[in-house]
Amino acid sequence: MALEEAFKTAESTLQLEEDDNRKIKKCKRTIKKYIQDNETKRIEKHVSTLIKQGSFMELLLKSEEDATWKSFIYGLPTSTMKFILNSSIDTLPTKANLVQWGKATFDRCKLCGLRETTSHVLNCCKTSLNQGRYT
């Protein structure tokens, strides 16, 4: 639907109203809502196609359905929440991500030589585990 069509739709709903100011305000609200809705849909569609942010959108949609999850999340400190979200959607600054983002050229773990992903850093590096680095 083009903007002109939205304007015509808004204008047609105002035919019976007498006050011009009310007509203008109502018309503006209708057009503003139309533009906001379309922009939101466009952004959601774009973000869902992105590798990392698409995962975040999926997490957001799931969290909206679960009241227990919300009450748990909102009680966390900001830094903890940020870490949990970044680790959940694989946007921590691991070497693998830094290479993907063009910030580094080497994506291997200094300790074991395997690819340093979020999963590897948080729980899969055998060398760190054997050295007692995980607590």
The pLDDT of residue 116: 92
pTM of the model: 0.48
Q: Which residues of the chain have pLDDT under 70?
A: 1-3, 6-20, 48, 51-73, 134-135
Q: Is 120 inside a domain boundary?
A: yes
Assigned domain for 3 exists: no
Strand partners, 108: 115
If residue 79 lies in a helix (H) or strand (E), which one and from where to where?
A: helix 78-88
In a domain, 96, yes or no: yes
- Are 110 and 88 in contact by the 8 Å Cβ rule? The answer is no
> Given this model, what pLDDT does residue 135 score?
46
Q: How many helices (H) and strands (E) does the chain have?
A: 8, 0
Q: pLDDT by residue (tens digit) across 61-70?
A: 666 656 556 6
Tokens 């940020």, residue? Answer: 82
Kindly state whether residue 113 falls inside one of the protein's structural domains: yes
- Does residue 41 sit within a domain? no
Question: Domain range spanning residue 119?
Answer: 92-135
Q: Answer whether 134's CB lies under 8 Å from 128's CB.
A: yes
Q: How many domains does the chain have?
A: 1
What pLDDT is stored for residue 105 in this prediction? Answer: 92
55: Cα within 13 Å, side-chain hemisphere:
9
Q: What is the pLDDT of residue 49?
A: 73
